[in-house]
Structure 1
Amino acid sequence: MTTSALDDEFQALEARAYDTFDTGRLTHAAALFGDALARKPDAIHLHYMKGLAHKYLGEWSQSLQHNLRAIALNGEFEQSMAWNAAIAATGLGDWDEARRQWERCGIRIPPGSGPIEGDFGLASIRLNPWHGGETVWARRIDPVRARLLNVPLPESGHRLFDIVLHDGAPTGRRRTGDGDRTAPVFNVLDTLAESDFDTYVAFVRCDSPEDLDDLTDATLPGIGYVEDWTRSVVHYCLRCSYGSPHAHHDAAPPDDWAIERNLGIGAQGKAAAVRLLTQWASRGPGRHVDGIETPRLERPARSQDRTWWRGEDEDDDEDDDSDGEPG
């Protein structure tokens, strides 16, 4: 085969790899970039793209390997390579490498060794962005790790206080509850540490916002946070979905009080959640607990039929699935 024919064949292979990546078929794309690297092992852009595909697959060892190779071949500092290497190192728990890459990026991190524990601000975190994309508030403890502050829906497979690994580039911004500030929205890439708080879905009735405040403000051992999902979760009827019988009423106007409330409770055990609800109901008339469920669901598998990492900018006024104030 002539040199020209070999070049044409390589260009076709490279184009297939990019096209496959651009349609979200990450496993196939990673394999095609690998085939291209077998022919041109020192191609910086191919190492970068293969590392990128493995990043979105959550395959941290391969992602780090190819990003570090791209960095070594490039010679000059390239921020995107350093960020992706730091993300992959964080996913692996290779804290020395992660710290080295953050320092190359000029990011100030707390001194020392091991996991980074700092305050990098509030963020809106999109859980399972390849499937639904519920957003919750979180506190960033390093450039790409965050602790969840809301009670996620059970369908997400996540829990209050999980520590998640998120992408480096925000996909939009979201207004905080006071409306005066905005926070970046990041896609979750992986879960690094599961909390010991389960999610309990409770259905209660009460006559006034003050009754509900008495519940959401209450503290007990084993209770992390009580969140009113009645307004923030609007895409389906939670009571029906969990089999709690009730009569449907016309939705109350936004400024009117709805007696039926759907709650998400982050608790370390059902006994703590039941004790909280029982004590609350006993403290005032017209307070009723209709049911409490403990759904345990697996996280949805990563989709490879769309480019979920290219999320559209969010409308600041839009309500997502779980959108309460941070716990």
Structure 2
Amino acid sequence: MSDHALLLAQAREYDARGDVYNAVKLYKRCIKLAPEVVEAYVQLAEIYKKRAEWKPALHYAKKALSLDASLADTWWTLGITAVALGKERLAKSVWSKFGPSNPRDALISLQLNHSGIFELIWAKPLDPARAQITSIPHPDSDRHFLDIVVFDRQVIGYNVAKRRRYPVHAELGIQQRSLYFTFSCWLESPTKKDIQTLERLCVEAHLGFEIWSKSARVQKQVYNDKLQEFYSGDLFQKEDENLVVAIAARQEAHVEQVLRAWTIITLRQYYALERH
């Protein structure tokens, strides 16, 4: 086995074990020994993309494609990095090489990683690499309702809701923050109709709404060779149980206004309103 082939094999092993530091070192050493070896550039572009280090990802993707223009996945990596760096003309050129992207009214699920766990949220694709968050993510995620984020093309699982399977993609980083803050509060013994009323009031006021009680959105990471399916469970809790809900708004006063209207309509109470 040649020196560069041995380096590649060792780099793959480190990469597979999650030792990115040593994998990167060996891929770069391989490039110095054999600059014509495409795989090293491809793998470096992929590693830097997953780490949201966009400039080196763009550099190595371009290098790989200069040696082999048939690499569809690397073209996609180039497109994602171009979007993340605001290089719209380059991104548009890349997307033109592929078929139609997800329609703007489609729904996908994104995986957010934080605090040693991952969270599944909902989002609407804006183009092949960007999506707008429609859920209210956990405060530890540093993401908010209507943030625009970059996501990876690869499907890493499926989120099953109302008997439909929605693809799960890895979220790669924030592109544009929304002006919404995250609030939460407890509802005292709401019925299903009470919850639907609060959701309607939030929608009418252009606020985000989500039930956080007994939520299955935040889960421990599970590694498996097969694609995982995740189930959110029942949307509504048993009646006569207190319930925690999240509301996304630009100002706390908007949340209080909606909650006051809800108490008048339903004769229910809320408590422990908190801004995160």
Question: Given the alignment of the two structures, is residue 272 of structure 1 paired with residue 254 of structure 2, yes or no?
Answer: yes
Which residue of 117, 121, 126 maps to 1:132? 117
Which residue of 263, 272, 276 maps to 1:291? 272
Aligned letter for 1:28? N
Q: State the partner residue of 2:264.
A: 282
Which residue of 79, 82, 88 maps to 1:86? 79
Aligned letter for 1:266? A
Q: State the partner residue of 2:30.
A: 36
Unaligned stretches of 5+ in structure 2?
220-235
Once residues 79 and 189 of structure 2 are traced to their aligned partners in structure 1, the CA distance between those partners, rounded to angstroms, is 49
Q: 1:211 to 1:21 in 2, by over 3 A?
A: same
Once residues 191 and 57 of structure 2 are traced to their aligned partners in structure 1, the CA distance between those partners, rounded to angstroms, is 53
Aligned letter for 1:270? E
Q: State the partner residue of 2:192.
A: 209
Mapping of residues 83-162 of structure 1, within 5 Å: 83-104=76-97, 106-108=98-100, 119=104, 121-128=106-113, 131-162=116-147
Give 1:154 deviation, angstroms.
1.1
Q: Is the 8 A contact 2:119 2:218 kept in 1?
A: no
Partner SS state of residue 154, structure 2: coil
Q: State the partner residue of 1:69.
A: 63
Q: Deviations over 1:122-180 (max 9, x none)?
A: 10111127941210111111112111111111122111111111111101222233x2x
**Identical counterparts, % of pairs:** 22
**Count of aligned residue pairs for this structure pair:** 260
Once residues 80 and 235 of structure 1 are traced to their aligned partners in structure 2, the CA distance between those partners, rounded to angstroms, is 29
Partner SS state of residue 41, structure 2: helix
Once residues 6 and 120 of structure 2 are traced to their aligned partners in structure 1, the CA distance between those partners, rounded to angstroms, is 39
Q: Is the 8 A contact 2:104 2:126 kept in 1?
A: yes
Q: Is the 8 A contact 1:124 1:184 kept in 2?
A: yes
Of Structure 1 and Structure 2, which has the larger fraction of its residues in strand?
Answer: 2
Q: Is the 8 A contact 1:147 1:161 kept in 2?
A: yes
Query: Root-mean-square deviation (CA), in Å?
Result: 2.5
Q: 1:44 to 1:157 in 2, by over 3 A?
A: same
Q: State the partner residue of 1:174.
A: 159
Unaligned stretches of 5+ in structure 1?
110-116, 237-253, 296-327
Question: Given the alignment of the two structures, is residue 196 of structure 1 paired with residue 196 of structure 2, yes or no?
Answer: no
Once residues 52 and 119 of structure 1 are traced to their aligned partners in structure 2, the CA distance between those partners, rounded to angstroms, is 26
Partner SS state of residue 199, structure 1: strand
Relative to the length of structure 1, the TM-score reads: 0.73
Give 1:45 deviation, angstroms.
0.9
Q: 1:170 to 1:265 in 2, by over 3 A?
A: same
Q: State the partner residue of 1:249.
A: none
Give 1:270 deviation, angstroms.
1.4
Q: Is the 8 A contact 1:222 1:269 kept in 2?
A: no
Which residue of 239, 245, 248 maps to 1:263? 245
Relative to the length of structure 2, the TM-score reads: 0.85
Using CA pairs under 8 Å that are at least 6 residues apart, name the structure with larger relative contact order, 1 or 2. Answer: 1
Q: Deviations over 1:17-51 (max 9, x none)?
A: 21221122223322321122112122111111111
Partner SS state of residue 48, structure 1: helix
Partner SS state of residue 134, structure 1: strand
Q: Is the 8 A contact 1:44 1:73 kept in 2?
A: yes
Q: State the partner residue of 1:225.
A: 208
Larger radius of gyration: 1
Once residues 142 and 197 of structure 1 are traced to their aligned partners in structure 2, the CA distance between those partners, rounded to angstroms, is 22
Partner SS state of residue 258, structure 2: helix
Q: Is the 8 A contact 1:26 1:56 kept in 2?
A: no
Give 1:284 deviation, angstroms.
3.3
Deviates more, 1:158-167 or 1:198-207: 198-207
Partner SS state of residue 118, structure 2: coil
Give 1:233 deviation, angstroms.
4.5
Q: State the partner residue of 1:314.
A: none
Aligned letter for 1:65? H
